[in-house]
Structures are given as structure tokens and as C-alpha cells.
Amino acid sequence: MQAIKFEKVYFRYGGEDDAFALNGVDFAVEEGEFVAVLGHNGSGKSTLARLCNALLTPKEGKISVFGIDTQEHKKVFEVRRQVGIVFQNPDNQTVASIVEDDIAFGPENVGIKRAEIGERIDFALKAVGMEEFRHATPTRLSGGQKQRIALAGVLALKPKVMILDESTAMLDPRGRKEVLDVVLRLNKEEKITVLLITHFPEEAMLADRAIVMHKGKIVLEGKPADVLAEEEKLKEYSLVLPRPLRVCRALTKNGLSTSDTMSENALAQDILNGLNQSENVRVPMQSKGAGTRLIDENEEIGGVRCENLSYVYNAKSAFATHALNGVSLQIHSGEFFGVIGHTGSGKSTFVQHLNALLKTPTAERGYRAKKPKKGKPVPPKTVLNVNGFDLTDKKTDFRALRGKVGMVFQYPEYQLFDETVYGDVAYGLKNFNKNLSKAEIDQAVREAIATVGLSYDEVAQRSPFELSGGQKRRVALAGVIVTKPEILVLDEPAAGLDPLGKEEIMSLLHKIHGDWCKTVIIVSHDMEEIAENCTRAAIFADGKVVSVDTPKGLFEKVDEMQGLGLDVPFTARVCKTLKAAGVEIDCDYTVDDFVQKTLAYIKNKGAGARLTSAKEVADNE
């Protein structure tokens, strides 16, 4: 039986002059099928999801859910019982002040008996690994934790169809795997139909079928491996291959025969089998990579020095949560620094201290020093010096600090508030620089909008809320960089963007870093992103910094990383497998460097070579 069927469906959000978000879509999902929907931002994926459970209704055409027409008003409730949807932002579907009440909301509304509701809450919390947060308040959870609760709320309904609209975008690697394992198990064992909307091509490989959308139309469809084989077409539709396939094809292109695989063991075996193929192998030139500023360990401007930083949310209440517990970390001027850790590890809390969105107790206006209790040890002094400002002193000019330390939040488009793009971008500049003339403000706004890749003439007088998701994110970034901060802090800057959008954002950050911003600090769950962009990174776990090193130094410790709930790049896992077989590829775990060093190793026939520099590569060619 067909679970969902679209027949010549058209939909647009505005009037007759606006483009169709869905443009004549025809497709069906069979009961029990697992379908992945891929596409760039604005391709129509989320619109399709909302049409499936009658949150939206088509302008033309027909949509059926288990034979029910979604436009039959009296049957909308039944459609929504059958189809559960988990949105990209969990805040959009949180309704209660306690986690278990939030999960119970759906089952209560469809008439499930009280005893069974309790069982369903237990099942849903266990499925997403959030049992210990049963009595927590959703608003006090991290972004990733909220997302798991949102998924649990849908799981508790036990729908016949589950739609996940970028639901894993903000989860750490372990959380993403756990959620997908749950979804796969429900699909295979409970025969729940799954529609997975994702930007991760690796996730699409889990599905029975993959669909690619572009400008409101389905442009590719078939088995995931076949769809992802269309490399040139994927580029045309602003998508890229999964990194494992990019590695395989780059090796094959340069003379080392490998099969397309997502398995590190399979690729390692292909490389071992190719050790005698040196006569066919070509070693590509070393890519120059992104430019960066010189790192100065002693310069205060652009630097961060943190010692013994602790922070408790809702201190002296029943909801007290220790988010940071004695954090010590130094970030040098000139670095492109990464902050990584599992969901709830304290990453976002730490970076929000860097421009005093969160303050140490000593920096609060009403703070008065207390005498240490007799016989008790004196607590260690907290040091937090950012860009030359002492953030532990309540006399510090925090307004001046925020003009020099820019913060871009996890969902930067939610920073937008003005009626026009111009007004939004200019707001911070006007507040931090009261003496600027209108001409100077106009010029700065024009430059900031151009820097983020938008046309001033096209967007300046438009409402930011009329723009696409990717454009909103760029406008939000423009509103921060317009003051040209010396430190730029970004919390998951590329989350939720399509692969091309991620590459564009990271290229933009490197340009800003190279041109005028001394130090860039990014929080990310994407280990490949950290490997390809950062000079160093810090791992947070349970409110503490447990390791600081170069990406290479961190990712070569595969077991330790995975023990902390983090993944490592695919290339690091391949290197670990090869090392166990006696082949050591010494690379920085980026795709280009891994490919080059592997081919150079084979060209040298193994011979004990540990190639560590471009010069050594050239010498061995």
C-alpha cells in the first residue's frame, strides 16, 4: 500500500507572481519504505515535508496519506495521527515546561490511555538516550538535547510515517548515530515508513531510495548509490559526494583502483591491495589550502586567556546545572580555532562568555567579594582575558568589548529583527560607533553585505524575513562583521546549510580571517570541518577541557575521541586500519592531504616512508 502519494502537486508561499516552492511534484512512498530527500537550501524539501501531514495544503494537485486526501478538512486530524514530523529547530515543537509532559502531549491528544502513555514516555526517552532528563525543563537543555526530546515526542505517538526534517543537523556524531539507529530499527522492525530530509549524503546511503530536489522539482531518483554516482549532476544541484566517496574516486582518478565504499575497512583493503600498483599511480600536487594569519602566542589583541572558569545555570535553585567546571584554555592571536564536544559538554556556554553574554559572578554589577569561610580553602581565582579586556572585572567596558568580539549564534537568522536588511546590518555599527556619519555607515554596510556575497542593490531595502534561509544567515553574519571585530566567534556557523553553502561560509570566514579579523573561533560537530579549517581545537566534555591540540593530534587518537562521544574524519579511521596492517600514512586527515600522501606512499612502494611535507612528496616523485 502507498503511504504517501503526490499527484501533480504545486505550492507557493506568496501570490501569483512568486515562484513555486513545489512545481508539479509526482512521487509516492510505499508503506514501510525508507526514502531520503536531498537538495540545496530552498529546493523545496521542507515544503514537501509539511505538505505530507497537512501543515500546508497544495495550491494544485492532490496528496494522499494511506488513501486519505490531506485537503479533506474533517480528516486532517487522522492524517496527523498517521504522520509524525520532527522539525529542524526543536524549539518550534516544544509545548511543555517538563520533558515528560512534552513527550506525553501528543499521546494525550490522540486519546492514549494513561498507563500506556507512561510506557511510551519510557520507550521514547530510552530510544533517544535521554532517560536522565525526564524531569528536566526543555528550555534549559542544549540545542542537541532539545532535538532528541523533539524526536522522542514524535516516537511516543508511534506514527505509521515518520518525517525527519534535518532533525540530526545539530546533534553530535554519537547523537546522530543513535537517532539514526533508532529510526532504522523502527523502519525495519516496526515497519514505520521513514522520509528523511537531510543535507548529509552519508545519511542518504542508509535509505532504500534517494530523491534529489532542485527548484521545487524532483531531478534525480533511485537507489542511493546510483544517485550519488551522478557526481556532475550533484554539483549542478549544489550537492557534493560524501567524503568517503570523494576519497575513493580521487584515488581511482590518480591510478589506484578502489571501489566506491563508505567503509574504512573496505577502502583500507583496497589500498593494501594496491601497494603493487606503483607504476600506475600519479601523485597530485599539494594544495596550498586556505590562507591564515600568523599566530602570535603573546599578543593580547585577538587572544583569549581563560583559567578556572566555572558557570552554573539557575544557581541556588532546584534546576541548578553545572555547565562549566574549572575550564582553562588559551587561544592565540591569529588562530582559526575549533571548539568541539558532545551535546551538553559546555561548548556554547564557554563561547558565550567570550563577549560577556554570560558573565562571571565577579563581573556582575551587584557583586561584592565574600570573605572565605574559616578553615575552607580559598577557591582558585578565575581569569578571563579576551582581546585585552578583563571579563572578570565589573568595571570593564563591556560595550567596547562587544564591538571587538563578534558573536554569531547557533541559528544566526534568529538574530534578525529590523524591517530592512540595511537597518539590520547597520544596527550594531550605529550602537558601537555613535560618531559615524551617514555616509560612513552607508559605506560600511555596503562593504559588509558585499563581503558575505550578497548584492547591496538587490537586498538592502528588502525585509530580511523575505529572504531564503541561506541569505538570512549571510545577513546575520554581515550584521556582526560590519564592526570589523578582532575576534569572531561562531556557534555551528554551517549547521543546516547544504554542502555548497557550508563550503561558501567557510571560504568566507577564511577570507575575513585573512583580510582583517585576527582570530576566528568556531564551535562545530563536524570533525571534517575542524580538520580542514582549524589550526588547533579544544575538546570539551562534562564542562571541562579534556584536550587541546592540532586537528591531526586530536584525530589520530581515534579510540579516545569515540570514547568522548565524538567521531573522527573518515580518513583518520582508514589510517588507523592501515596502521594495524603495518602501513602508516602520515597526513593531516583532510581529503586532499590523505589522497596525496597515500598515493605518494604507494609510489614509493611503502618502503617504510612516512611522508610529512610537500618537499618529501616532491622528492619521492
Amino acid at 614: A
Do residues 481 and 549 share a domain? yes
Do residues 534 and 601 share a domain? no
Do residues 346 and 197 share a domain? no
Phi first, then psi, for residue 382 (nearest 5°) are: -90, 130
Do residues 447 and 551 share a domain? yes
| CA distance linking residue 198 with residue 165, whole number of Å | 7
> Is pLDDT above 80 for 200?
no
Q: What is the mean pLDDT of residues 66-83?
A: 91
Containing structural domain, residue 597? 243-282+569-620
> Is pLDDT above 80 for 15?
no
The secondary structure of the chain in percent helix, strand, coil, rounded to multiples of 5, reads 40, 20, 40
Do residues 259 and 315 share a domain? no
Nearest CA-CA partner of 144 in 178, 177, 168: 168
Element (H, E) at 200: none
| CA distance linking residue 117 with residue 125, whole number of Å | 12
Whether 296 maps to a domain, the answer reads no
Whether 161 contacts 4, CB under 8 Å: yes
Do residues 606 and 536 share a domain? no
Q: What is the pLDDT of residues 319-354, one digit of tens each?
A: 788 899 999 999 999 999 999 998 789 999 999 999
Kindly report the CATH number assigned to the domain that includes residue 151: 3.40.50.300
Whether 82 maps to a domain, the answer reads yes
- 469-481 helix and 499-515 helix, angle to the nearest 10 degrees: 10
Report the 10 Å Cβ neighbour count for 350. 27
Do residues 277 and 336 share a domain? no
> Is pLDDT above 50 for 112?
yes
Q: What is the mean pLDDT of residues 23-44?
A: 92
Split at pLDDT 50, 70, 90, the class of 618 is very low
Residues near 527 by beta carbon (within 8 Å), at least 6 away in sequence: 173, 340, 555, 561, 566, 567, 568, 569
Q: Among 264-278, 498-512, 527-541, where is mean pLDDT lowest?
A: 498-512
C-alpha count within 13 angstroms, C-beta hemisphere, residue 464: 25
Amino acid 409: pLDDT: 85
Q: What is the mean pLDDT of the chain?
A: 88
Whether 298 maps to a domain, the answer reads no
Amino acid 292: pLDDT: 60
Split at pLDDT 50, 70, 90, the class of 411 is confident
Whether 322 maps to a domain, the answer reads yes
Do residues 608 and 587 share a domain? yes
> Is pLDDT above 50 for 611?
no
| CA distance linking residue 475 with residue 611, whole number of Å | 43
Nearest CA-CA partner of 558 in 535, 576, 585: 576
Amino acid 285: pLDDT: 81
Report the 10 Å Cβ neighbour count for 367. 14
| CA distance linking residue 393 with residue 398, whole number of Å | 10
SS3 159: coil
Q: Among 281-285, 370-374, 509-513, where is mean pLDDT lowest?
A: 370-374
What percent of the chain is modeled with pLDDT above 70?
Answer: 95
Whether 182 contacts 155, CB under 8 Å: yes
Do residues 483 and 573 share a domain? no
Amino acid 606: pLDDT: 54
Final residue before a domain boundary, out of 214, 236, 258: 236
Element (H, E) at 489: strand 487-491
* Strand 22-30 to 68-69 pairing: unpaired
Do residues 487 and 607 share a domain? no
Split at pLDDT 50, 70, 90, the class of 280 is confident
Amino acid 608: pLDDT: 41
Amino acid 287: pLDDT: 60
Q: What is the pLDDT of residues 416-456, one digit of tens each?
A: 999 999 999 999 999 888 889 999 999 999 999 999 889 99
Do residues 332 and 441 share a domain? yes
* Strand 487-491 to 519-523 pairing: parallel
What percent of the chain is modeled with pLDDT above 90?
Answer: 57
Whether 276 maps to a domain, the answer reads yes
Q: What is the mean pLDDT of residues 398-426?
A: 90
pTM (predicted TM-score): 0.84
Q: What is the pLDDT of residues 215-231, one digit of tens each?
A: 999 999 999 989 988 88
Q: Which residues of 484-519 are buried (b: 16+ CB within 10 A; e: fewer)?
A: bbbbbbbbbbbbbbbbbbbbbbbebbbebbeeebbb
Mind giving me the DSSP string for 18-35? SPPSEEEEEEEEETT-EE
Final residue before a domain boundary, out of 207, 236, 265: 236
| CA distance linking residue 432 with residue 257, whole number of Å | 58
Amino acid 590: pLDDT: 93
Q: Who wins on pLDDT, 571 or 433? A: 571
Final residue before a domain boundary, out of 546, 563, 580: 563
Whether 289 maps to a domain, the answer reads no
Strand segments, DSSP code E, in 198-246 are 209-214, 217-222
Whether 452 contacts 505, CB under 8 Å: no
Whether 614 maps to a domain, the answer reads yes
Q: How many domains does the chain have?
A: 3
* Strand 2-11 to 22-30 pairing: antiparallel
Whether 369 maps to a domain, the answer reads no
Backbone CA torsion sign across 332, 333, 335, 341: positive
Do residues 557 and 601 share a domain? no
Residues near 435 by beta carbon (within 8 Å), at least 6 away in sequence: none
Phi first, then psi, for residue 287 (nearest 5°) are: -75, 150
Q: What is the mean pLDDT of residues 598-606?
A: 85
| CA distance linking residue 180 with residue 158, whole number of Å | 16
Q: What is the mean pLDDT of residues 23-28?
A: 94
Amino acid 607: pLDDT: 43
